Structure 1
Amino acid sequence: MGALLAKVGHVVTPHSHDSADKTDAALESSERGLRVLGVSFAVLVVTAVVQAVIVGVSGSVALLGDTLHNFADALTAVPLAIAFSLGRRAATRRFTYGYGRAEDLAGIAIVLVIAVSAGLAGYEAVKRLIDPQDVHALGWVAVAGVIGFAGNEWVARYRIRVGREIGSAALVADGLHARTDGFTSLAVLLGAGGAALGFPLADPLVGLLITAAICFVLRDAAREIYHRLMDAVDPALIDAAERILLAVPGVRHAGSIRLRWIGHALHAEVEILVDHDLSLVDAHAVAVEAEHRLIHDLPRLRAATVHIDPHDPTGADHHALLSTHR
């Protein structure tokens, strides 16, 4: 009897699947994210410092643009690290969903940093076009371009791999950003080669190309952050959730399915229809099974709320009381 009352009591509360394992997994994801950011920050700072020294010796504006971009890319680790740290805090009565949204706010800061680096690189390139200057130590400039590519490509692979494993779109986007930086570093070689062949304007022209590349990265990063802020998800996730629900014994139909990202974890709110003549306990068991399968089969889903509706062959409207509020 006690077990029956416990099951019935659970029916009137949202079905949740937050367990110690889920919490531990979330904390481990944040730990890995922080570790990636720390290592990649150090690599990019060292890369940018080496390039900055060569900029001072050579006066290459193309290399300056690439150096500014690498410094900016290193600085994007700061807001992300703050966001990962905040995301580990437990939910409160005010922040009932926790602090995962801090990751999206960090994304806005990243977009602003990229925009500033594009502006500075473009300004210096135009300035050098108007007032051309000789570029010195072309061999070192070429070496700096190779160093920039190597450092960024290593960071890109590291961020993208871990970002996909922990489900952090911001970390993956930052990794793709680093990969683009690597190719812009190779463009510095073009500027050095042009200058070596007696075409001094090659350096500022490559600087403008690098600025354009930064602007494309800026567009993609801004679009990604916009989607997260607007609770956009990949439609394929909705299709997968529907297939999972329809495979649950007792589910006659899947109604509304809503997913949203909170930081690097998914949360779901779904409606299912079950036979109208099921007992309360049996209907609840179907809902629990649906929730269980969703969390285990849908990648990076941390919590789900399942609402049960009766599948009534008579066509009765069981939500008539709420019709005026829709």
Structure 2
Amino acid sequence: MHTISGRQAADPVGLTEVDDAGERRAAHRAIALSAVGLAATGLAELLIALLTGSVGLLGDAFHNLSDVSTSLVVFLGFRVSRRTASERYPYGLERAEDLAGLGVAAVIWASALFAGVESVRKLLGHGTTTHLGVGIAAAAIGVLGNQLVARYKLRVGRRIQSATLIGDAKHSWLDALSSAGALAGLVAVAAGARWGDPLAGLAVTLLICHIGWEVTTDLARHLLDGVDPAVITSAEAAATTVPGVSHIHARARWTGRTLRVEIEGWVDPDLPVRAADAIGRHVIAAVAHALPEARAISWSARSAG
């Protein structure tokens, strides 16, 4: 069996292995910067929410502050996933990142519950909202700050293939929508509709539930070894282009940010070992070229006879 680990890039000689230390540093930097930005935004919104009595702004503030705790969870997940493989954990602890992502999902659902309860309470209790100008300004700042954080984390997450960081970016994008909902509610109150603030809070709750469902299903798919069927199709199509392979069967799964592809190939049983090994190297090179996102590719030869 041949196995290539790390990020692969096909070249005329073979495969080049690239260490992911730089990608981890980029992830840590994205988490730290976003946590600082969200903490500042959340504290400012919290103070103004207490001043104005806006339930939409209050929910948005707690939502932003909860993101600081999820950033810590994501950071711990990245740190734990760095541990090398052992006899007990032969694949390492890369899935710690996915478990951290479940923590992010839990916070999203908790935010949905909090926002919904507070919105219904104010709607039924006919609460008032004051200092509308200050509240509108705070909500606008929340929209801008969360958009910047979300785009930054999404860009880094896609570049390093981290489902957890992408999920955290979606959470920040959700925060921008939450701030926009709070802003719309305050504008409605300023126009004379007292129900605007709690109604906006309910709308934000539905958005939170939608994003929570997306993040939860993406992470669950990773943990249950689900992959895009196109990955299997591409791997098998690339492997069959190598002369000497009569049949190919591919499997793949994610462990954290690592896409692992396993190739079984049927070859002539009379081939010498050296020739079968050469075919395996060519198969790995072909699959790595077709699937640049794959970080670990293994080959096993089977007798066609």
| TM-score computed with the length of structure 2 as normaliser | 0.92
State the partner residue of 2:67.
73
Give 1:206's match in structure 2, choosing from 200, 207, 215.
Answer: 200
State the partner residue of 2:168.
174
Give 2:261's match in structure 1, choosing from 246, 252, 268.
Answer: 268
Q: 1:82-141 CA deviation, whole Å, 9 max, x = no partner?
A: 111111111111111011010111122111111111111111111111212221111111
Q: 1:148-190 CA deviation, whole Å, 9 max, x = no partner?
A: 1111111111111111111111211221221222122112222
**Residue 289 in 1 paired to residue 282 in 2?**
yes
Secondary structure of 2:88's partner? coil
Secondary structure of 2:3's partner? coil
Instruction: Tell me which of the two structures has the higher relative contact order, counting C-alpha pairs closer than 8 angstroms and 6 or more residues apart.
Output: 2
Give 1:95's match in structure 2, choosing from 89, 99, 124.
Answer: 89
Secondary structure of 1:92's partner? coil
Give the Cα separation in 1 of the matches to 2:115 and 2:81. Answer: 33
The one-letter code of the counterpart of 2:270 is D
- How many Å apart are 1:20 and its aligned residue? 10
State the partner residue of 1:245.
239
Secondary structure of 1:91's partner? coil
The one-letter code of the counterpart of 2:59 is G
The one-letter code of the counterpart of 1:280 is V
- How many Å apart are 1:252 and its aligned residue? 2.4
Which consecutive segments of 4 or more residues in structure 1 shift more than 6 A? 19-23
State the partner residue of 2:2.
15
Percentage of pairs with the same residue: 36
Deviates more, 1:47-56 or 1:296-305: 296-305
- How many Å apart are 1:282 and its aligned residue? 0.3
Secondary structure of 2:302's partner? strand
Deviates more, 1:69-78 or 1:113-122: 69-78
Give the Cα separation in 2 of the matches to 1:247 and 1:165. Answer: 29
The one-letter code of the counterpart of 2:261 is A
- How many Å apart are 1:23 and its aligned residue? 7.3
Give the Cα separation in 2 of the matches to 1:201 and 1:273. Answer: 68
Give the Cα separation in 1 of the matches to 2:7 and 2:182. Answer: 50
Aligned Cα RMSD in Å?
1.8
Q: What is the 5 A alignment of 1:133-148?
A: 133-148=127-142
Give the Cα separation in 2 of the matches to 1:30 and 1:24. Answer: 13
Q: 1:11-65 CA deviation, whole Å, 9 max, x = no partner?
A: xxx3122379987522222221111111111111111111111111101001111
Gaps of 5+ in 1: 1-13, 313-326
Gaps of 5+ in 2: 9-15
Give the Cα separation in 1 of the matches to 2:66 and 2:222. Answer: 22
Secondary structure of 2:193's partner? coil
Q: 1:169-227 CA deviation, whole Å, 9 max, x = no partner?
A: 12112212212221221122221112112221111111111111111111111111111
**Residue 123 in 1 paired to residue 117 in 2?**
yes
Deviates more, 1:23-32 or 1:274-283: 23-32
Give the Cα separation in 2 of the matches to 1:32 and 1:249. Answer: 40
Asked if the contact 1:152/1:179 (under 8 Å) is kept, the reply is yes
Asked if the contact 2:177/2:204 (under 8 Å) is kept, the reply is no
Asked if the contact 1:65/1:211 (under 8 Å) is kept, the reply is no
Q: What is the 5 A alignment of 1:28-43?
A: 28-43=22-37
The one-letter code of the counterpart of 1:79 is V
Number of equivalenced pairs: 298
Give the Cα separation in 2 of the matches to 1:74 and 1:115. Answer: 16
Give 1:151's match in structure 2, choosing from 127, 142, 145.
Answer: 145
